[in-house]
């Protein structure tokens, strides 16, 4: 096992850093794949799996070098998530948050970043971005309290980014983002699901946490690419991109990696599967040949579309290129990618015989996990395409991203 990248190696070319991170991701994915059944039975990632994430430093990928990070770009972050998600979507999902949420932290006020990244250390961060908390104004700041829902990876996170509706400096009520430490939350025993079990997406309570004045930021600024990162790290466009570009970049590869793993498993299973009634090898059946060929081609189309998206984000000034209408259009395409991946995985499972529904089957885990996470509100094709249609028809969309 290689040693993780340390601060002393950060003078190396980015391509060298990226290659080392991707090699670590492949090693990590092999370890996860060997234990996917054990991981799948857990209600959160095993402690040693989280320890491996810290060891390899994947949470540093999108963090500036000046804060102790690797300062790589979205292509590396995306590929890491894609590699790992094929071994276990739950691990890939949490890893995506551990990679992406530090980027969100880089959009928060500088004194918040000083605290989160103290001593050049990059902690694990989770998020709970539905604005369900309350911020009560008090002299010198706010008191945060309430209940947060569905916070993936929060069990092992050192800090959690939360949101609450509160008045901004002009008195307008908006979702506001801020950070609370792990010690300030009370995790609830709330995670009982059949898909994405190991994500540990527990609810938690926040009870009377002091949030100093100046340590909150309007959430729409981050969504639009106008967070603190745009001013604190002006030499790197990575920190001025709209959030939807970034989240699609490090969360969609979960589906792309899982669908590739499912089709590879479909091919593997049907090479050797023998029909118990006819005694014939499944691979000799035209129906199986067509299913394998069709699903493989559809998977390659999904990969090509996603790779084109990543290339478009990496070129030019994404903040200027992707206004609200463009982000809504992008969100519609992202939701359809998710829908396509879910359908491919379903068809691959159905084409692999009854054994693919055993609890020990890789296809069964992929089928359950992707079916479950595809109904996440962020991937809802009806809402996403409705908003896109309204824009095209000259109407005001209800969703703001």
Residue 399 has pLDDT above 70, yes or no: no
H or E element in which residue 161 lies: strand 159-167
Q: What is the pLDDT of residue 382?
A: 94
Tell me the HSE value of 113 on the side-chain side, using a 13 A CA sphere: 22
Cβ contacts of 337 within 8 Å, gap of 6 or more: 252, 255, 256, 302, 305, 306
- For residues 150 and 202, give the distance between their C-alpha atoms in angstroms, rounded to a whole number: 5
Is 188 within 8 Å of 32 (Cβ atoms)?
no
Which among 71, 159, 55, 54 has a CA at the least distance from the CA of 117?
159
For range 276-284, the mean pLDDT: 80
The mean of the pLDDT values for the chain is 92
Extract the tokens encoding 258: 């899982």
DSSP state at residue 189: S
DSSP string, 90-148: HHHHHHHHHHHHHHHHTTS-HHHHHHHTGGG----EEEEEEEEEEEEEETTEEEEEEEE
Q: pLDDT digit string (tens) for 183-233?
A: 999 999 999 999 999 999 999 999 999 999 899 999 989 988 889 998 999
Coil vs helix vs strand at 202: strand
Q: What is the pLDDT of residue 75?
A: 96
Extract the tokens encoding 80: 């890491």
- For residues 26 and 385, give the distance between their C-alpha atoms in angstroms, rounded to a whole number: 35
Residue 180 has pLDDT above 90, yes or no: yes
pLDDT-above-70 percentage for the chain: 95
User: Residue 209 to residues 112, 142, 156, 217, 375: CA-CA distances in angstroms?
Assistant: 15, 8, 19, 17, 32
Alpha carbon 87 to its chain centroid, in Å, reads 15
Q: pLDDT digit string (tens) for 319-367?
A: 667 788 988 999 999 999 999 999 999 999 999 988 899 999 999 999 9
Q: Which residue has the higher pLDDT, 59 or 172?
A: 59
For range 34-62, the mean pLDDT: 97
Residue 260 has pLDDT above 50, yes or no: yes
User: Residue 154 to residues 75, 186, 340: CA-CA distances in angstroms?
Assistant: 25, 11, 29
Q: What is the pLDDT of residue 319?
A: 62
pLDDT-above-90 percentage for the chain: 78
Q: What is the pLDDT of residue 166?
A: 86
For range 178-182, the mean pLDDT: 97
Q: What is the pLDDT of residue 15?
A: 77
Q: What is the pLDDT of residue 317?
A: 67
Q: Which residue has the higher pLDDT, 325 or 77?
A: 77
For range 23-48, the mean pLDDT: 97
Q: What is the pLDDT of residue 187?
A: 96
DSSP state at residue 395: P
- For residues 213 and 28, give the distance between their C-alpha atoms in angstroms, rounded to a whole number: 41
For range 84-113, the mean pLDDT: 97
DSSP string, 262-307: HHHHHHHHHHH-B-TTT--BGGG-HHHHHHHHHHHHHHHHHHHHHH
Q: pLDDT digit string (tens) for 110-141?
A: 999 999 999 999 999 999 999 999 999 999 99
């Amino acid at each position: 096992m290689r040693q993780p990248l340390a601060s002393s190696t950060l003078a190396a070319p980015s391509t060298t850093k990226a290659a080392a991170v991707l090699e670590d991701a492949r090693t990590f994915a092999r370890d996860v794949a060997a234990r996917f059944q054990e991981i799948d039975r857990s209600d959160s990632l095993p402690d040693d799996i989280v320890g491996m994430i810290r060891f390899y430093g994947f949470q540093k990928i999108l963090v500036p070098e000046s804060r102790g990070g690797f300062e790589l770009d979205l292509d590396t972050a995306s590929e890491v998530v894609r590699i790992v998600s094929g071994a276990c979507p739950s691990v890939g999902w949490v890893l995506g948050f551990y990679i992406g949420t530090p980027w969100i932290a880089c959009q928060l006020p500088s004194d918040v970043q000083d605290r989160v990244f103290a001593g050049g250390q990059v902690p694990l961060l989770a998020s709970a971005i539905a604005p369900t908390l309350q911020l009560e104004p008090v002299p010198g700041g706010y008191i945060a309290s309430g209940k947060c829902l569905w916070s993936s990876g929060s069990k092992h996170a050192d800090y959690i980014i939360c949101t609450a509706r509160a008045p901004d400096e002009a008195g307008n009520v908006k979702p506001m983002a801020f950070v609370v430490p792990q010690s300030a939350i009370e995790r609830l025993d709330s995670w009982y699901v059949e898909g994405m079990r190991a994500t540990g997406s527990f609810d938690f309570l926040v009870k009377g946490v002091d949030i100093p004045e100046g340590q909150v930021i309007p959430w729409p600024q981050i969504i639009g690419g106008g967070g603190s990162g745009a001013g604190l790290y002006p030499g790197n466009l990575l920190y001025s991109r709209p959030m939807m570009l970034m989240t699609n970049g490090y969360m969609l590869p979960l589906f792309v990696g899982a669908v590739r793993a499912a089709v590879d498993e479909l091919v593997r299973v049907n090479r050797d599967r023998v029909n118990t009634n006819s005694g014939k090898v499944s691979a000799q059946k035209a129906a199986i040949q067509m299913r394998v060929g069709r699903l493989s081609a559809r998977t390659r189309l999904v990969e090509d579309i996603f790779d084109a998206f990543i290339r478009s984000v990496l070129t030019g000034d994404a903040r200027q290129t992707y206004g609200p209408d463009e982000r809504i259009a992008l969100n519609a395409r992202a939701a359809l990618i998710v829908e396509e991946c879910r359908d491919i995985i379903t068809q691959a499972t159905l084409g692999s015989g009854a054994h693919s529904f055993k609890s020990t089957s890789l296809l069964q885990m992929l089928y359950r996990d992707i079916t479950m996470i595809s109904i996440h509100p962020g991937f809802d094709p009806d809402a996403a395409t409705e908003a896109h249609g309204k824009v095209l028809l000259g109407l005001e969309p209800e969703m703001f991203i």
